[in-house]
């Protein structure tokens, strides 16, 4: 088994988690030019060189939910790609969304500004019925976010590529349903994978479909949103606020307008951080399924890109 994680200088954490559930596994940390006969690789943001040197790979585990960067590389032709389906990320994303939701709904920034000015002022609650939370993407992560939002009794809407029916939610589907979904949404949560079809999906025209005074949360991929369009709509007040955990370019360059925009809250891609123990357990489960010839959990459809 080959291991590569570009985000960590030392692989000790991953090695410990994997050996706890796969004690018999022979795990090799990838090094450029190092010969290997491994057929299984666990990777995060790997270089093209890894796959050029390992044409024998048959299973490639992506140590995260999003696979767009991995699928942009030339992979061994017979390899199957698997992604983590949760690994502790879903509940973290639900926390992130609910934090932003309550912050905006209860106008906590407004009260924070009042505190700084020594003002004791109360403001009427916004009608909850007018604060529909719209989930753009209804996969494993989207459904976990939905359950968290439902606990606060906000109206829910959801959009997916193909029709779905989920309890407690008004569901929309396909290109024909996207405009109607956006028009009913007060707080839009982006949960879609990045594919050629979703890149730039939220352009000026589509973001303008949101009611004036709406909010945007992006915890998926930055390139889903056309950032210049978002800036224009934030400047005009059509979009009242944005919580952005992902950007088109990461790390965000110094001097970028998002750093200082008064309506933007930034975080450095931390809304759903992979838990190694949960990820290792998923890898072990998938390897068992592979050995038994059973369907592989989390297998990526290479044609669809997720």
What confidence score (pLDDT) does residue 284 get? 97
More confident residue, 6 or 73: 73
Rounded CA separation 62/117 (Å): 49
Entry pTM: 0.92
Tokens of 147: 């359950």
Please check the confidence at residue 86 and state whether its pLDDT lies above 90: no
| Residue range 27-34: mean pLDDT, rounded | 93
What confidence score (pLDDT) does residue 6 get? 87
Please check the confidence at residue 144 and state whether its pLDDT lies above 80: yes
Please check the confidence at residue 117 and state whether its pLDDT lies above 90: yes
What confidence score (pLDDT) does residue 121 get? 98
Please check the confidence at residue 9 and state whether its pLDDT lies above 80: no
> Tell me: the pLDDT tens digits for 220-251?
999 999 999 999 999 999 999 999 999 999 99
Please check the confidence at residue 190 and state whether its pLDDT lies above 90: yes
Decide: helix, strand or coil at residue 156. Answer: strand
**221 in active site:** yes
Rounded CA separation 18/27 (Å): 9
DSSP string covering 115-144, please? HHTT-----PPPPGGG--EEEE--SHHHHH
> Tell me: the pLDDT tens digits for 56-75?
999 999 998 889 999 999 99
| Residue range 48-57: mean pLDDT, rounded | 96
What confidence score (pLDDT) does residue 65 get? 81
> Tell me: the pLDDT tens digits for 164-184?
999 999 999 999 999 999 999
In order of 20, 47, 193, 305, the CA distances from 55 in angstroms are 28, 14, 27, 21
The closest alpha carbon to 272, from 137, 77, 90, belongs to: 90
Is 25 in contact with 18 (CB distance < 8 Å)?
yes
**186 in active site:** no
Domains of the chain: 2-87+274-292 (3.40.50.720), 89-266 (3.40.50.720)
Please check the confidence at residue 105 and state whether its pLDDT lies above 90: yes
Of these residues, 4, 83, 186, 221, which one is catalytic? 221
Please check the confidence at residue 8 and state whether its pLDDT lies above 90: no
What confidence score (pLDDT) does residue 59 get? 98
Please check the confidence at residue 87 and state whether its pLDDT lies above 90: no
pLDDT confidence band for 85 (50 / 70 / 90): confident
Of these residues, 199, 238, 256, 269, which one is catalytic? 269
| Residue range 281-285: mean pLDDT, rounded | 96
Please check the confidence at residue 36 and state whether its pLDDT lies above 90: no
DSSP 165: -
């Amino acid at each position: 088994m080959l291991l590569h994680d570009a985000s960590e200088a030392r692989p000790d954490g991953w090695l410990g988690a994997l050996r706890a559930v796969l004690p018999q596994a022979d795990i090799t940390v990838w090094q450029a030019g190092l010969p290997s006969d491994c057929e299984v690789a666990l990777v995060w943001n790997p270089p093209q060189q890894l796959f050029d040197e390992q044409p024998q790979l048959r299973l490639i585990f992506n140590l995260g939910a999003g696979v767009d960067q991995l699928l942009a590389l030339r992979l061994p032709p017979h390899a199957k790609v698997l992604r983590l389906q949760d690994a502790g990320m879903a509940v973290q994303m639900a926390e992130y969304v609910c934090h932003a939701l309550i912050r905006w709904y209860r106008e906590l920034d407004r009260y924070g500004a009042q505190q700084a000015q020594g003002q004791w002022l109360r403001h009427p609650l916004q009608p909850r019925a007018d604060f529909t939370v719209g989930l753009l993407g209804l996969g494993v992560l989207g459904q976990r976010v939905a359950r968290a939002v439902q606990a606060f009794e906000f109206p829910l809407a959801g959009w997916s590529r193909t029709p779905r029916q989920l309890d407690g939610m008004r569901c929309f589907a396909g290109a024909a349903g996207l405009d109607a979904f956006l028009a009913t949404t007060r707080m839009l949560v982006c949960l879609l994978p990045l594919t050629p079809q979703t890149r730039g999906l939220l352009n000026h025209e589509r973001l303008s479909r949101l009611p004036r005074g709406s909010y945007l949360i992006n915890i998926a991929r930055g390139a889903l949103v056309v950032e210049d369009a978002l800036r224009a709509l934030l400047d005009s007040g059509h979009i009242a606020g944005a919580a952005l955990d992902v950007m088109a370019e990461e790390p965000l360059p110094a001097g970028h307008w998002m750093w200082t925009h008064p309506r933007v809250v930034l975080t450095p891609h931390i809304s759903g951080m992979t838990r190694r123990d949960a990820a290792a357990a998923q890898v072990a489960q998938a390897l068992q399924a592979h050995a038994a010839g059973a369907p592989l959990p989390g297998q990526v459809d290479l044609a669809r890109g997720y």
